[in-house]
Structure 1
Amino acid sequence: MSLGISDDQVELADSLRKWAASLGPVEAVRAAEGDTAARFAEVWAAVEEMGVASIAVPESAGGGGGTVLDQAVALEACAHELVPGGLLGAAVGSLLTGRPGRYGVQVHPGGAVWDGGTADEQLLLDTGAGDPVAEPGADLSTRHARLPGGEAGEADERRRLVAVTLAAAEAAGVARWCLETAVDYAKVREQFGQKIGAFQAIKHLCAEMLETAESVTAAAWDAAAAAVPVDATVEGAGSLEQWAFAVDVAQATCFDGAVEVAKGCIQVLGGIGFTWEHDAHLYLRRAISLRALVGSADAAAERLTAAAVAGVRRRVAVDLGGRDEAVRPEVRETVERIAALEPDARRAALVDEGYLTPHWPAPYGLGADPTLQIVIDQELDRAGVVRPDLVIAGWAVPTILSHGTDAQRERFVLPSLLGELVWCQLFSEPGSGSDLASLRTRAVRVDGGWRLTGQKVWTSVAERADWAICLARTDPDAPQHKGITYFLVDMRSPGIEVRPLREITGEALFNEVFLDDVFVPDDCVVAEPGDGWRLARTTLANERVAMASARLTKSVERAVEIAATRDLGPVERVQVGRQVALATVCALLGVRTTLRALGGHGPGAESSVAKLLGVRSRQDSSELVVRLQGDALALLGTITRDADDPLAADLWEQLNTRCLSIAGGTTQILRNVAGERILGLPR
């Protein structure tokens, strides 16, 4: 997905990409090779006429009157087409001065002058220097400049924030082009008798590029969305502090990310990608140059650690555009009434009001649209009311609502919401793992129902569950996906044996479940026999939309706590900051999904890669927490999540998170799915 989310920004990006492509930008870049004085005159004249570099300049000063985010969307679109010349410097300079122009901008004292070789006006920090001298650098599509001498001036923080914000947008455009180019090639290039995109190695590489590109896009979007206009009066330091935090997340994420995606593109292209004739190296050069211009990602990570230790967290406000005004007073009144109850009485009240699952249809929810869902979330959060977790019931009940009979809904839905029924899931088997279609548990038709025999594994809470959702094969002669039926199984039925399964933490959270001729009546079959595979993948059409948040995860907060209380070295502080950045990006992906839903659109790629990135974040951060505590690990006693020794609890968390890349589909399987269903790669 591109950087813009609103319909207007998506339309702006689409139109600018088409316009930019019509200028023949890559041809202009190639024609200017070796020309240090190249001004890319024809392309730049069109850019000026279009006003691309001054979109965020007030209309009264000759600009477009847009936002910094609008400007970022435009830069992403133009970078996607590799528009040459001084666009980035002009956009940065126009924002800083509040008037359009061709600017060369020195962002760091003693550093290069961004686009100084194509500028009419220079915004310099160094003093006593001569005129900037254009240099043909790594990026053939630009002409940055060096200063021949003089004294380095003082740093300008606002200038840095503007520059990194807009450079991150260009990095997002570069990453997007590289991803699309690699995927398009993988769909048509044949080797060994088939499209290379069907090879798992290529599929995984493209999926990893997707993860990185979405991270770059989310971080660049947030930096631009958080930007404080140069000519605006900042109410206190909070807005600038939030922008600085978002910019450091972008600096720690976007530029390394764009380089990695560009490298991945060349890898997928193979030999043709290594040639001068292919455009891929031009995009790699742009990515490398951007990374060099903005400065060290490690320095940004260190600043994130310092900010997090000081209590700064990214707070993303979701603008509901006034759509909440009609519903908020009633929601607030209802929530305050629930909050006034004793804690034990709140669950029933939440269920009665439809606030426990507002996205479910009435009478069990409200059939709430995204706006109402978010307002309810916000008001519950404000009042300190926490919804109870439905756990497996959150998967079982929607299937019953969508596909069950009236009798099944009456029997199971309300008791499950009230917590009177506990559910477990009997899907996975020792020999099938993520490949549910190969399951072997069989169900044989008998008078009045079915007899189930088989073995299930990795079943949470089976030892105390009242009911289970279970997949079993009812037609052994049908194709794998066709002969499976969806059953509701009473866990107190004769023939069920539950055996605890001890995990690497030393605890037994999972179970093996053995089914020995277990009777399930016909009224506990959901839908029709053979519909099980379809039902196993069901979700309600009215999807849950979560309140936007950018909170750090448990282990990242623990790492920040260690950074605040121990004398960590620079390398360790960088490692903490990088985990702060990754956790923030994961949360931003959720925010973008929420905003997309508010705009009436289905989930984009963000929602699909969020699990992959979230797993990486939780595993890496929990491992870092243990590593930061040195050799005390060698002398550790009992390992439990509730241990008095914090290190014991930290190690338990590290060990426990290893399941995250396995449960619910392994990381490798999910990358196959992302490659095929999002990127359209062949099976």
Structure 2
Amino acid sequence: MSIGISDEHVELASSLRKWASDLKGRELARAAEDDPGETFASAWGALVEMGVPAIGVPESAGGGGGTTLDVAVALEACAHELVPGPLLGPAVAAALLDGLPEDAVVGLVLGEVVWDAPSATHVLAEVDGRWRLLPRGAVELSPVLGLDLSRRFGGLRVLDPAAGDPVDVTTGLVRRTAVTLAAAEAAGVARWCLATAVEYAKVREQFGQKIGRFQAIKHLCAEMLETAESVTATAWDVAAVAGGDEEQWAFAADVAAAIAFDGAVAVAKACIQVLGGIGFTFEHDAHLYLRRALTLRALVGDRDEAAERLTAAAVSGVRRRVELDLEGRDEPLRAEVRENVERIAALPEDEQRAAFVETGYLAPHWPAPYGVGADPVAQIVIDQELARAGVARPDIVIAGWAVPTILEHGTDEQRERFVRPSLLGDLVWCQLFSEPGAGSDLASLRTKAEKVDGGWRLTGQKVWNSVAERADWGICLARTNPEAKKHQGITYFLVDMRNSDGIEVRPLREITGKALFNEVFLDEVFVPDDLVVGDVDDGWKLARTTLANERVAMGSTRLSQSVERAVGIAGDGVTAAQRVRVGHAVALSTVCSLLGVRSTMRSLAGQGPGAESSVAKLLGVRNRQDGAELVVELHGDRILLDADDRLTADVWELLNTRCLSIAGGTTQILRNVAGERILGLPR
């Protein structure tokens, strides 16, 4: 997945990547080692002919009139194919100057380095506290063959500061613009490295099999995917908000600075690791991308400084607020939704749930009469109006897994019996899937169901069952055909937890000291035939429906609970090093929200789910676990005194979140799934 989500951006990225591939940028970069002048000039000429440097230049100045996001999509595509020579510097200058002098190549100066020194016809530099566009004759440039073989940088000596035209920009704006567009290149680098590593892992053989089958390689590639998606999300976000609200742009730029450039370096290094010895050779292109990534990171400043700024912004109340553009598709339904939501909001709190059910807004994506069959746009409008009215949708917990399965695969009698009472909260559900010997591997479950007159007898042990001690009903998987293949012979049952003989629920005390989960023992528990959902022996398909059920949701502007808590502690005073750590936590939490927003936008665009949703689950776990641990570390040795309820709650959260990388499929299993289903690595 690239930065662009809309059809126009997908097409732009595809066409530019093909063009850049035909340009053979990597071969040109190698040729430039001996002859940078002619090589870079030919590359720049091709870029100009293609119109790439002018994409974001106003039409009145002879450009394409595109947005910063258009420019970012183009830069990502060109970086993916490592188009050499000047492009990033002139793109930043064009954004700052609203265009470029005719036939100009503007070298940008940030810190001590002149970007694109050998190609520059002008230099945009800060001289005596003021930014100026200096002609080439007013400066002395000293180009060097540096780390990045696809570009040249150099030193600067200003000969005639008065020769340049003053430019009305600040250093902060220049740096923010540079980060915005450099992040797009970082995304292109990360994408190429990920694709290259994955393709190699699919064909390279060791020990008689493709190396992509080895879990170590699979996990390494999945981690590259997580990082590449994070880089892409931040690059998309900062480009989308650029030039808008200054506070929001600054926040997004600092998130990109904290995430994108280290991320591109990490993916480039991992690519070389997957490639093995061949990746360490000069002949392979991987090192060219590592060099570009390292250079981008060096150009845009310290990630820890960005993290400190994020902490300061978060303490002052700034959060990233991404506005979804519904392109007018919300107008036909906005008024009706607002009227319904206002009617719900006006009711006493104990009457609101019933009103949610009556309107279908409790689960709007479900079909009528239980939902309203809302498409992605309608779901977003309902969420927006609920947020505007300050009304929270009740949480239906495990019913959110059970009911969609009944709706899709159940009988009319089952739907009539269970769906509405579950929505109203009259029925509480638990899940009876995991077993001591079958956690994530549900196909290995051993609970058996034997056919008897009028139904089935279930015998076995289930574990990690939340709310089983007070549940009315349970969704249960049991093996009905022990002779069938592993994923077959499993049936989906609805178990009456209150009125069935043979059920024993034992609390499981977890590391927190509390018991939120249970073990459930089934001893010949009778389940009548009319409580089988779907076909006998077809429960695996139903289980996947249950676990996969998701809806489109509006992204939250809040950080995760623990990161919000860390920001609050930082506001009371912490060390400089701790402020940096809080800022990085803010960045990661923001990325998790951005991944959700991008997934929603794909739904709005009528596209299938991208990698964001799977990556969001993996990063979301890390975000919550690391955030909870950070909060406890910020308390220092005070946690040993157990002095107040808030400290106790923070320690409990740290201990409790350890389950997140286990529950619902371990992080390792999810990385296997990501490697196989998203990246296409062999099983």
Q: Distance in 2 between matches of 1:574 and 1:469?
A: 45
Q: Does 1:634 align with 2:640?
A: yes
Q: Distance in 2 between matches of 1:66 and 1:647?
A: 51
State which of 289, 293, 303 in structure 2 corresponds to 1:297: 303
Change (3 A) 1:49 1:151: closer
Question: Following TM superposition, by how much is the alpha carbon of 1:634 offset from its aligned partner in structure 2, in angstroms?
Answer: 2.2
Identity %: 72
**Corresponding position of 2:15:** 15
CA distances 1:603-638 after superposition (whole Å, capped 9, x unpaired): 10001100000000000011011001111122226x
Residue type matched to 1:676 in 2?
A: E
Q: Distance in 1 between matches of 2:116 and 2:597?
A: 34
**Corresponding position of 1:217:** 232
Q: Distance in 2 between matches of 1:100 and 1:299?
A: 31
Residue type matched to 1:501 in 2?
A: L
Q: Distance in 1 between matches of 2:522 and 2:613?
A: 36
State which of 616, 622, 633 in structure 2 corresponds to 1:616: 622
Instruction: Give the TM-score normalised by structure 1.
Output: 0.95
Residue type matched to 1:651 in 2?
A: V
Q: Distance in 1 between matches of 2:431 and 2:105?
A: 62
1:447-486 counterparts in 2 under 5 A?
A: 447-486=453-492
**Corresponding position of 1:111:** 112
Question: Following TM superposition, by how much is the alpha carbon of 1:306 offset from its aligned partner in structure 2, in angstroms?
Answer: 0.6
Contact 1:360 1:540 (8 Å CA) reproduced: no
Q: Please identify, of 168-177 and 147-156, the stretch whose mean Cα deviation from structure 2 is larger.
A: 147-156
CA distances 1:525-549 after superposition (whole Å, capped 9, x unpaired): 0011101111000159995110133
Report the 3-state secondary structure (helix = DSSP H, G, I; strand = E; otherwise coil) of the residue aligned with 1:468: strand
Residue type matched to 2:200 in 1?
A: Y
**Corresponding position of 1:525:** 532
Contact 2:41 2:119 (8 Å CA) reproduced: no
Contact 1:579 1:617 (8 Å CA) reproduced: yes
Q: Does 1:494 align with 2:501?
A: yes
Question: Following TM superposition, by how much is the alpha carbon of 1:149 offset from its aligned partner in structure 2, in angstroms?
Answer: 6.7
**Corresponding position of 1:177:** 192
Q: Distance in 1 between matches of 2:91 and 2:256?
A: 18
**Corresponding position of 2:123:** 122
Q: Distance in 2 between matches of 1:381 and 1:151?
A: 57
Report the 3-state secondary structure (helix = DSSP H, G, I; strand = E; otherwise coil) of the residue aligned with 2:53: helix
Contact 1:103 1:123 (8 Å CA) reproduced: no
**Corresponding position of 2:653:** 653
Q: Please identify, of 99-108 and 67-76, the stretch whose mean Cα deviation from structure 2 is larger.
A: 99-108
Report the 3-state secondary structure (helix = DSSP H, G, I; strand = E; otherwise coil) of the residue aligned with 1:131: strand
Question: Following TM superposition, by how much is the alpha carbon of 1:151 offset from its aligned partner in structure 2, in angstroms?
Answer: 12
Residue type matched to 1:132 in 2?
A: L
1:94-109 counterparts in 2 under 5 A?
A: 94-100=94-100, 102-108=104-110
Report the 3-state secondary structure (helix = DSSP H, G, I; strand = E; otherwise coil) of the residue aligned with 1:327: helix
Q: Distance in 2 between matches of 1:499 and 1:150?
A: 82
Contact 2:401 2:549 (8 Å CA) reproduced: no
CA distances 1:37-58 after superposition (whole Å, capped 9, x unpaired): 4551222111011121121111
Q: Does 1:404 align with 2:417?
A: no
Report the 3-state secondary structure (helix = DSSP H, G, I; strand = E; otherwise coil) of the residue aligned with 1:603: coil
Q: Distance in 2 between matches of 1:137 and 1:69?
A: 30
**Corresponding position of 1:143:** 152
Report the 3-state secondary structure (helix = DSSP H, G, I; strand = E; otherwise coil) of the residue aligned with 1:146: strand
Q: Please identify, of 112-121 and 336-345, the stretch whose mean Cα deviation from structure 2 is larger.
A: 112-121
Residue type matched to 1:662 in 2?
A: I
Report the 3-state secondary structure (helix = DSSP H, G, I; strand = E; otherwise coil) of the residue aligned with 2:126: coil
**Corresponding position of 1:29:** 29
Q: Does 1:131 align with 2:137?
A: no
Q: Distance in 2 between matches of 1:287 and 1:507?
A: 47
Contact 2:458 2:527 (8 Å CA) reproduced: yes
Q: Does 1:505 align with 2:506?
A: no
**Corresponding position of 2:131:** none
Report the 3-state secondary structure (helix = DSSP H, G, I; strand = E; otherwise coil) of the residue aligned with 2:378: helix
Contact 2:356 2:362 (8 Å CA) reproduced: yes
Change (3 A) 1:150 1:204: farther
1:641-680 counterparts in 2 under 5 A?
A: 644-680=644-680
Q: Does 1:534 align with 2:549?
A: no
Residue type matched to 2:217 in 1?
A: I
Q: Distance in 1 between matches of 2:634 and 2:46?
A: 54
1:262-661 counterparts in 2 under 5 A?
A: 262-492=268-498, 493-538=500-545, 544-566=551-573, 568-636=574-642, 644-661=644-661
Report the 3-state secondary structure (helix = DSSP H, G, I; strand = E; otherwise coil) of the residue aligned with 1:132: strand
**Corresponding position of 1:232:** none
1:147-296 counterparts in 2 under 5 A?
A: 147-148=156-157, 156-228=171-243, 239-296=245-302
Residue type matched to 2:632 in 1?
A: V
Q: Distance in 1 between matches of 2:265 and 2:247?
A: 28
Report the 3-state secondary structure (helix = DSSP H, G, I; strand = E; otherwise coil) of the residue aligned with 2:267: helix
Name structure 1 gaps, 5 residues minimum: 230-238, 638-643
Contact 1:324 1:372 (8 Å CA) reproduced: yes
Change (3 A) 1:605 1:151: farther
Residue type matched to 2:543 in 1?
A: A
Name structure 2 gaps, 5 residues minimum: 129-133
Q: Let me know the Cα RMSD of the aligned residues.
A: 1.7
Q: Distance in 1 between matches of 2:547 and 2:672?
A: 24
Report the 3-state secondary structure (helix = DSSP H, G, I; strand = E; otherwise coil) of the residue aligned with 1:52: coil
CA distances 1:53-110 after superposition (whole Å, capped 9, x unpaired): 12111111011101000000000000000000100011011111111354444453x4
Change (3 A) 1:572 1:85: same
**Corresponding position of 1:233:** none
CA distances 1:309-343 after superposition (whole Å, capped 9, x unpaired): 11111011001000101100011011111111111
Change (3 A) 1:131 1:359: same
Question: Following TM superposition, by how much is the alpha carbon of 1:569 offset from its aligned partner in structure 2, in angstroms?
Answer: 1.9
Q: Distance in 2 between matches of 1:100 and 1:673?
A: 48
**Corresponding position of 2:75:** 75
Q: Distance in 2 between matches of 1:151 and 1:394?
A: 70
Question: Following TM superposition, by how much is the alpha carbon of 1:645 offset from its aligned partner in structure 2, in angstroms?
Answer: 2.9
Q: Please identify, of 363-372 and 41-50, the stretch whose mean Cα deviation from structure 2 is larger.
A: 41-50
Q: Distance in 2 between matches of 1:36 and 1:155?
A: 32
Q: Distance in 1 between matches of 2:23 and 2:341?
A: 56
Question: Following TM superposition, by how much is the alpha carbon of 1:133 offset from its aligned partner in structure 2, in angstroms?
Answer: 1.7
CA distances 1:207-254 after superposition (whole Å, capped 9, x unpaired): 00000000000001000001016xxxxxxxxx1010000000000000
Contact 2:89 2:108 (8 Å CA) reproduced: no
Aligned length: 666
Q: Please identify, of 516-525 and 113-122, the stretch whose mean Cα deviation from structure 2 is larger.
A: 113-122
1:79-94 counterparts in 2 under 5 A?
A: 79-94=79-94
CA distances 1:142-189 after superposition (whole Å, capped 9, x unpaired): 112211479999961111111110000000000000000000000000
CA distances 1:9-53 after superposition (whole Å, capped 9, x unpaired): 000000000001111111111111144645512221110111211
Residue type matched to 1:97 in 2?
A: L
Residue type matched to 1:243 in 2?
A: W
Residue type matched to 2:588 in 1?
A: L
Residue type matched to 1:346 in 2?
A: Q
Contact 2:503 2:523 (8 Å CA) reproduced: yes
Contact 1:103 1:116 (8 Å CA) reproduced: no
Question: Following TM superposition, by how much is the alpha carbon of 1:111 offset from its aligned partner in structure 2, in angstroms?
Answer: 2.2
